[in-house]
Amino acid sequence: MFAIERINKIKEILYKDKRVDVVELSKLFSVTEVTIRRDLDKLEKEGFLIKTYGGAVLNEENLYGRTVVDTDDNTIEEKRMIGKIASQMIENGEAIFLSPGTTCLEIAKNIKNKRITVVTNDLLIGYELRDSAGIKVIVTGGDLIKSTSTLAGSFAIQTLKGIFINKAFIGVKGVNFDSGYTVDSYEEALIIQEIRKISNEIIIVADYTKFNRTAFARLGELTMAKKVITNKQVPPKYKEFYFENAIKMYTTFEFE
């Protein structure tokens, strides 16, 4: 496992459990405790956690008001390219859904000149599109998931009843042959399951660091979407899988 993969997994554990233990992480990843402490040092410098004796706790105060579904700045450029690719798939007059997260936020930044309807359960995406004259923005109601900009719950699901979506762009936190597509929270997964019922087309958006990873809540098999937008660094075995299953994979390679 590469260092960035290990650090992302530590983040996932912190999101879920709010704390980590050096000894337990050392055994989980089969690395030395010194290596784990270096990982925690890096995350502490980012303001992501607070080190404690023998471990660390999630720095919830620093994360408040931020979209914590993705805090890794190393993939900003890759996400920007995904946003540009996705924007070219959207036609005027369509209704689209943008799921929570920084990747879909990049899509929002690239569609401001279009005449479309955007449905989202991400407050930051709604705010990003607030001044776009040609875009009708519908932000679902619902319960605000702590330390994120994501709305979920029964009220959010009720908002989606009786509408139709042409294209739904779904950001995921994990892409894995065994677990399929996964996201950070069960509440978010329930919203996306509802979106699948009312959407004509599901498009997965995920930068290359999400592959070979598994997050907390499962969305479905890797065949649940016929289009995937990602980066050229995706492991070859996933490229082969998509090709063999007639799933179109769009990468930044074609746009360089």
Q: Give the contacts of 124 (CB within 8 A, at least 6 positions apart).
A: 67, 105, 149
| Span 54-86, pLDDT tens digits | 999 887 655 444 444 444 455 788 899 999 999
Q: What pLDDT does 252 receive?
A: 67
Residue 38 lies in a domain: yes
Q: Is the pTM of this model over 0.95?
A: no
144 plus 220 within the same structural domain = yes
pLDDT band at 42 (very low <50, low <70, confident <90, very high): confident
174 plus 97 within the same structural domain = yes
Q: What pLDDT does 60 receive?
A: 62
Find the mean pLDDT for residues 10-32: 89
Number of domains in the chain: 2
Q: Indicate the residue among 12, 38, 63 that finishes a domain.
A: 63
Q: What's the CATH code of the domain at 58?
A: 1.10.10.10
pLDDT band at 253 (very low <50, low <70, confident <90, very high): low
Burial class (CB in 10 A: 0-12, 13-18, 19+), 68: buried
Residue 245 lies in a domain: yes
The residue type of 90 is: I
- The mean pLDDT value of the chain amounts to 89
129 plus 178 within the same structural domain = yes
Residue 68 lies in a domain: no
CA distance 104 to 102: 6
CA distance 95 to 50: 42
Share of the chain above pLDDT 70, in %: 92
pLDDT band at 180 (very low <50, low <70, confident <90, very high): very high
Burial class (CB in 10 A: 0-12, 13-18, 19+), 114: middle
Q: Label residues 178-205 b or e (16+ Cβ within 10 Å = b).
A: ebbbbbbbebbbbbbebbbebbeebbbb
Q: Indicate the residue among 21, 44, 63 that finishes a domain.
A: 63
Find the mean pLDDT for residues 7-18: 83
Do residues 22 and 33 make contact, with C-beta atoms less than 8 angstroms apart? yes
Find the mean pLDDT for residues 82-105: 96
Q: Indicate the residue among 41, 63, 85 that finishes a domain.
A: 63
Do residues 158 and 142 make contact, with C-beta atoms less than 8 angstroms apart? no
Q: What pLDDT does 256 receive?
A: 42
Q: What's the CATH code of the domain at 214?
A: 3.40.50.1360
What is the residue range of 26's domain?
3-63
Do residues 195 and 125 make contact, with C-beta atoms less than 8 angstroms apart? no
Q: What pLDDT does 1 receive?
A: 67
Do residues 102 and 69 make contact, with C-beta atoms less than 8 angstroms apart? yes
Q: What pLDDT does 65 receive?
A: 40
176 plus 240 within the same structural domain = yes
83 plus 192 within the same structural domain = yes
